[in-house]
Structure 1
Amino acid sequence: MKTSILIITYNNIGYTKLCIESIRKYTKRDEYELIIVDNNSSDGTIEWIKEQQDIKYILNKENLGFPTACNQGIEIAEKNDILLLNNDIIVTTNWLENLKTCLYSDKTIGAVGAITNSCSNFQAIGAIYDIGNLNDFAKRVNISNEKMWEERLRLIGFCMLIKREVLDRVGLLDERFSPGNFEDDDYSLRIRKAGYRLMLCKDVYIHHFGSVSFGKGREKLNELLQTNYNKFQEKWNINYSQLLSIHLDVPNYIDRGTFEKFSFLEIGCNGGGTLTSIKNKYKNSDLYGVEANKDILINLNHIGKIASSLDEIIQENNKVKFDYVLLKEISLEMNLKIIRKIKYHINKGGKIIIIIHNFNAEIYKAELIKNLLIDFKALCLREYDNGLNKIFIADSLN
């Protein structure tokens, strides 16, 4: 299936030219159509678009914003997959082929995204190059490899390839988020609610200049972010921070081989972000979670077994013993209560991992040491600091 590459422009003609030139250079011509929707540019962009022979376009008489313009472009696209691409992107060798390879590797995958130099959502990597040798850098990254694919709870819309069947089922972008921001959070959630998964392709690197479309007014951008955050909250009536909460460093505290089988329990797993990051690295792990807020548990059955209480987990899985238990910053009293209950369900040599914000770490530390070393009979209590949180790891002697 061909791909309809959809780009929204509003001034910044220099970036747009670089973007289009890179698409033409690094994408097979018979595999895509190119669509630009311009939001009333005044810097020569409109005149330049009209001169191009390979671009289907819409020229708006006013700035309708990103989601609305995207919907206009989708409406005139052929019945292809849709790739939303910011105009301040430079694509690289194998970019589209690798995205499509991942997208069509499994029927449950609904959309995929790329990594870059400038992006939120942990989609940016450290990269040193100048634009002249960008593709030399990208060639070393853009080698198709399914081991470099990660499931995510959301994708940023700077580069987002969406299956046509998903688009037909989920519908267009929500225009309440115009002029832009949070429309990709909203669409990611809708895709997952429809039963599809989102994948980040770490075998696709493209360059992103960043925040060009919204200009340089940081104060106005922050106001827009807050406004659209509120709209998202009102629409879904869920806690956004809980929905997408994730501790990406937790897999680093698991001392197992990549293909080794082990059991991991997270108390207060929120929307499943941390469990998902563990499953990305340890495919054969048996994951369990406790989360009382069922509204934020979306399409996670393939990740692990999640229940509303610890008692429910223990009762439904009465023979299971855990190799790892993750606790986070709830009250000290509640953490200690959980430790006393769970200690009988931890394998010998199992570990309890406790994450506490640095601000509260010293308050917790003395009681944790006393209870983990004595009551839990821990062999030792190791302490780490990731800059934001203290991480305590206790090894069980039981």
Structure 2
Amino acid sequence: MEPIQYFPAAKAPSNPYFSILIPSWNNLAFLQLCIRSIRAHSVVPFELIVHLNEGKDGSLEWVRDQQDIAYTHSISNVGVCHAMNAMRELAQADYLLYINDDMYTLPGWDLLLQKEIQACPNEYFFISSTMIEPRAQSNCSIEANFGTSMDTFEEARLLADFDGFEKADWHGATWPPNVVHKKMWDAVGGYSVEFTPGMYSDPDFSMKLWQAGVRLFKGLGQSRVYHFGSISVKRVKQNRGYYQFIRKWGMTSSTLSKYYLRRGEQFDGPLVPQKIPLFVQLKNWYYRISTARKTI
């Protein structure tokens, strides 16, 4: 792996509440839009930290010119796991907030996250915002199309309509934007680099938090961002994360989502372990045996 270089911000903000971590891979226009939305729509003190994979599209020069952005840089694409762990090294805040560069934050998003954190009795939580997406990935998201590219993005209509969709708080925080206390991040060792470039690293991180005792995996229905839709994922050669997850944890990621995190169900308090049906246990046993014979 190429060495990663570290660059603290020239004008670092004092006492940030959130360290906002943004991995990026030659995605300048979306990165600029994401950061513009954060600056425009955030009221809670924050610092920005970007990891630039390659950065050969002008994003390295642009970030370098932003006096208030700390960044890490790798000449090659080291993937999201290495990027996240590198950015953690520069983070000053207690709360590490992960967001993708193809997301646009909406008014009130950060204040709701802060209020939820302040209501937690300890650091054992994992909290997420709700994505508005042209095609919802799951029942955790709101499906509404405000554009799939920079050319088709309807920013004014989004800002006028984003808070008109009904969405209750939900179980199963896994995907970004999400926030965790730095103590919990460090306790589980950050993101698992064996999942490089990153497929299934999100449920793996949630499983590590579960193993560490976290039971509050909460998505906030009113804290919202617009997600254009996995812009970088479409370009990268993906790892076989589905099988890696099974080999590591002895179950499918869908077992974690349904029977541990209850992902997408309406929130009704901290999670308790669910009884896994026998047929699911048998299916996971079969997958463990068959996956052990596959080459990843």
TM-score by length of 1: 0.58
Distance in 1, matches of 2:277 and 2:144, equals: 42
Residues 154-181 of structure 1, C-alpha deviation per residue, up to 9 Å, x if partnerless?
4113x11112232232221111111112
Given the alignment, which residue of 147, 160, 168 partners 1:148? 168
Does structure 1 residue 215 correspond to structure 2 residue 239? no
Structure 1 gaps, min length 5:
246-269, 284-297, 310-327, 331-398
In the TM superposition, 1:231-380 aligns within 5 A as 231-245=244-258, 270-271=259-260, 273=262, 277=265, 280=267, 300=272, 306=275
Partner-residue secondary structure (3-state), 1:107: coil
Distance in 1, matches of 2:83 and 2:63, equals: 16
Distance in 2, matches of 1:81 and 1:212, equals: 26
Aligned to 2:25: 10
Given the alignment, which residue of 228, 241, 244 partners 2:241? 228
TM-score by length of 2: 0.76
Distance in 1, matches of 2:205 and 2:67, equals: 32
1:5 and 1:32 in contact (8 A); partners too? yes
Aligned to 1:379: none
More helix by share: 1
In the TM superposition, 1:147-186 aligns within 5 A as 148-152=168-172, 154-157=173-176, 159-186=177-204
Given the alignment, which residue of 125, 137, 140 partners 1:123? 140
1:103 and 1:163 in contact (8 A); partners too? no
Q: Give the deviation of 1:191 after TM superposition.
A: 1.3
More strand by share: 1
1:141 and 1:203 in contact (8 A); partners too? no
Aligned to 1:385: none
Distance in 1, matches of 2:276 and 2:53, equals: 47
Aligned to 1:74: 88
Aligned to 2:117: 103
Partner-residue secondary structure (3-state), 2:132: coil
Aligned to 2:42: 27
Does the C-alpha gap of structure 1 residues 238 and 126 become closer, same or farther in structure 2, counting only changes over 3 Å?
closer
Distance in 2, matches of 1:41 and 1:128, equals: 29
**Percent identical residues:** 25
- Structure exhibiting the larger radius of gyration computed from Cα positions: 1
Tell me the amino acid that sits aligned with residue 36 of structure 1: V
Q: Give the deviation of 1:236 after TM superposition.
A: 1.1
Does the C-alpha gap of structure 1 residues 56 and 150 become closer, same or farther in structure 2, counting only changes over 3 Å?
same
Distance in 2, matches of 1:150 and 1:59, equals: 35
Does structure 1 residue 192 correspond to structure 2 residue 210? yes
2:217 and 2:261 in contact (8 A); partners too? no
Given the alignment, which residue of 43, 46, 63 partners 1:49? 63
Distance in 2, matches of 1:10 and 1:272, equals: 30
Q: Give the deviation of 1:133 after TM superposition.
A: 2.3
Partner-residue secondary structure (3-state), 1:273: coil
2:51 and 2:73 in contact (8 A); partners too? yes
2:207 and 2:256 in contact (8 A); partners too? no
State the aligned residue count: 255
Distance in 1, matches of 2:168 and 2:72, equals: 37
Q: Give the deviation of 1:110 after TM superposition.
A: 1.2
Q: Give the deviation of 1:58 after TM superposition.
A: 1.3
2:127 and 2:180 in contact (8 A); partners too? yes
Residues 279-312 of structure 1, C-alpha deviation per residue, up to 9 Å, x if partnerless?
736x7xxxxxxxxxxxxxx9615xx7x5989xxx
Residues 172-218 of structure 1, C-alpha deviation per residue, up to 9 Å, x if partnerless?
1111111112111011111122222210110112111111122347x
Distance in 1, matches of 2:261 and 2:202, equals: 19
Distance in 2, matches of 1:280 and 1:132, equals: 31
Residues 12-63 of structure 1, C-alpha deviation per residue, up to 9 Å, x if partnerless?
21101100111111113x6100001101121111111111111011121211
Q: CA RMSD in A?
A: 3.0
Q: Give the deviation of 1:128 after TM superposition.
A: 4.9
Q: Give the deviation of 1:80 after TM superposition.
A: 2.2
The higher-RCO structure (CA 8 Å, 6+ apart) is 2
Partner-residue secondary structure (3-state), 1:73: helix
Distance in 2, matches of 1:22 and 1:211, equals: 18
Structure 2 gaps, min length 5:
1-15, 147-153, 283-296
Partner-residue secondary structure (3-state), 1:93: coil
